[in-house]
Amino acid sequence: MNISDLVPWRDRRSLSRREDEALYPMRREMDRLFDEFFRGFEMEPWRGENGGRFNPSLNVSESDDAIEATLELPGLSEDDIEITLVGDRLTVTGEKRDEEEEHGKNYFRRERSYGYFRRTIPLPSDTVDADKVDAKFDKGVLKITMPKRETAQTQAKRISVKSG
């Protein structure tokens, strides 16, 4: 794509080499942005350019007594998910395999899709009580509750803000 294609009312010969070189980095960046934007519109959400990987939505929140992580995992079951807590890292991995078959009078259709993911959440050191971590999976939403240790709860000190 030439820069003159972007500016149709200017004659290509009127653009100097210096102007062309100055606008090239901007054009390259715009091309990259458009490529990234349209990359997410594949037909199968589980399969993409990264070989069957997907990234489920993840929300992490913290209260005074626990850290909570929520992942959206539609189409998976409890058996498809693995959760590990090693040191200061919580890792959630999963895999989906789906096969659909349809027979008709003059046709046979078989579709297969698969996808796997791995999400790792770094946690503050020595904060989570590993023996009390709880995970619940309901209607495609995984909720992991990680209670804080007693010492971690007492370390936090609220500071009031005064006006003036």
Same domain, 69 and 140: yes
Same domain, 65 and 117: yes
Which of 123 and 50 is assigned the larger pLDDT? 123
Same domain, 25 and 66: no
What SS3 state is found at 160? coil
The predicted structure's pLDDT at residue 74: 84
Backbone torsions φ then ψ of 29, nearest 5 degrees: -65, -40
Structure tokens given for 162:
């005064």
Task: State the pTM of this model.
Answer: 0.58
Which of 16 and 94 is assigned the larger pLDDT? 94
Whether 53 maps to a domain, the answer reads no
Q: Average pLDDT for residues 155-164, to the nearest whole number?
A: 77
Domain containing residue 27: 3-39
The predicted structure's pLDDT at residue 143: 96
Number of domains in the chain: 2
